[in-house]
Structure 1
Amino acid sequence: MAGSFAHALWELKQAAGDPSYDRMRAEFGAVASKSALADAARGHRLPSWDITWEFVRPLAVGVLGQEPRAVRRAWRLKWEAAAAQPVLAVAAIPGDRSTFVSDLDVPDGMTVPAGTRIVKTWVLHNSGTVPWIGRYLRRAASFGPDECLTPQEVPIPATRPGEQARVSVDVRVAQSPGYHQVYWKMVDSAGRLMLPGQRAVFFLLHVT
């Protein structure tokens, strides 16, 4: 869950022009240390709310000009949702690695009608030295006005090192207009989190 939250912070930083952490402190007024800001975006653990706000405020309010109270409320809800998620046991295996290749069928940001059904497919490359057997993508978090309905887990085909896997999930699109984003992390058959240091995959829909 920390990984998907960190990805949301990273996306905010990109939207604000990807300023350096030194610039966030010196020019935009972040009071957290450079190391704390950098650690928040790495995804190894969920940052405290105070650190989160010092990451978000200079970018969303100072750079992007968003309304402070609305920004604080929205990001507090995201942070509380992340903090409420159960912590998965981790199974980090030396040599295990995944590389995102592409989206199929439904590119991120695609406009879709509310309440429709779609199939989202990702292509993942086993770029490590460990075969993937009994692996799944598990839904990790979602952001939007309400929920897109999906299975909690979808299977990843057995994939040897050097091969690619196509992983698909059936989606019932949310009923509320707006942008909806759902994150997924790889787990094994026992539900343990694999590849804990890597970013989650996700889909992003513009619902109308």
Structure 2
Amino acid sequence: MGKIRSYEFLNKLYGFLDNQQNQGTYVIEFFRAAGSPYFVMPATYKGRTSEALEGERHYAKDRPLTSEIKESFPNPIDLDGLAAFISKNLSEDKLAACMTEFGIPSAATREKDKFARALAVQFGLFVTSSEDDVDNAVWGIYQTLLAGQPISADDVSGPRNPGDDVYVELEGRYHAADCYEIIHHEWKLQNRGKIPWENRRLVLVNQADIHPRPVQTIIPIPDARPGEHIKIATDIDARGFEGEYECRWEMQDANGENCFPNKRWDFNIRIHVAFNAMAGGEERG
């Protein structure tokens, strides 16, 4: 679904959460659930009106998170607290519409707690990014959770190196193939940060657990300056296997450290392999 800004995210979600007096109190409660003491809830009802909280409500209307506000959140954010806040206030009768609003296909399994956690993880991306508009990764995060792969608070901490950032084109991350095919997958990356990439590589981190396996499990990443676009690719031999698979990757530095623990799902590839008696041995990209 492309990019989304923090205030767009908060505004979308506000329309689906119950027990929220107004956008001002909503922003305060949301921030505090995620661990930020930046805003304090007024003690009196008069202090909680939309007029009294005009400044706060704009963060769910048209104002991006400032650097000062981002720094007020713990690193990582209180992921459990925020997910619990969202789940508590998202009623079952609004769940389907809310999921659709954030790009979840209507046919997807509906699990409110996992969806709430996916939304909390997405908000963590706003806090840790140097920009305010980030990739809308809710669907990818939700798929990761549905697959039984937990996402902890440490996974939503900022990048390993301050000022580092990456954009991964999300199109083409899902492949449907028959069990006679060799799949060709290509990643399109951009160095969105402020530091150059040197001696990095993309590493398959669950190679012992999956079939089919990529031909290359370690892919060198060309050095890239801030703003530069690059492409890397690998082939995946699907022959002889049927089922649903996910290849999990991470970008590592020269010391084998994960450069982006908060974006580990962005590099993943999902594959559905089925037997097709009419298939030949074509390569699909």
What TM bracket, shorter-length normalisation?
0.5 to 0.7
Paired letter, 1:38: A
Helix, strand or coil for the counterpart of 1:191? coil
Q: Which residue of structure 1 lines up, in the alignment, with residue 211 of structure 2?
A: 147
1:110 maps to which of 143, 151, 175: 175
| Structure exhibiting the larger radius of gyration computed from Cα positions | 2
Is the aligned partner of 1:25 residue 2:93?
no
* 1:17-166 aligned within 5 A: 24-25=87-88, 27-28=91-92, 38=120, 75=148, 78=149, 92-103=160-171, 107-141=172-206, 146-150=210-214, 151-166=216-231
Distance 1:41 1:140 in 2: 25
Question: Which runs of 5 or more structure 1 residues have no equivalent in the other structure?
Answer: 1-18, 44-58, 61-71, 84-89
Distance 2:123 2:211 in 1: 25
Paired letter, 1:97: D
Helix, strand or coil for the counterpart of 2:234? strand
Q: Which residue of structure 2 lines up, in the alignment, with residue 205 of structure 1?
A: 271
Question: Which runs of 5 or more structure 2 residues have no equivalent in the other structure?
Answer: 1-15, 18-82, 93-110, 126-141, 153-157, 275-285
Helix, strand or coil for the counterpart of 2:88? helix
Distance 2:200 2:164 in 1: 12
Percent identity between matched residues is: 22
Kindly tell me the number of residue pairs found equivalent between the two proteins. Answer: 149
TM-score by structure 1 length? 0.55
Higher strand content, 1 or 2: 1
Shift of 1:96: 0.9
CA RMSD in angstroms comes to 4.2
Helix, strand or coil for the counterpart of 1:128? coil
Change (3 A) 1:41 1:184: farther
Paired letter, 1:205: I
TM-score by structure 2 length? 0.42
Kept in 1, the 8 Å contact 2:212–2:241? The answer is no
Change (3 A) 1:171 1:163: same
Paired letter, 1:147: H
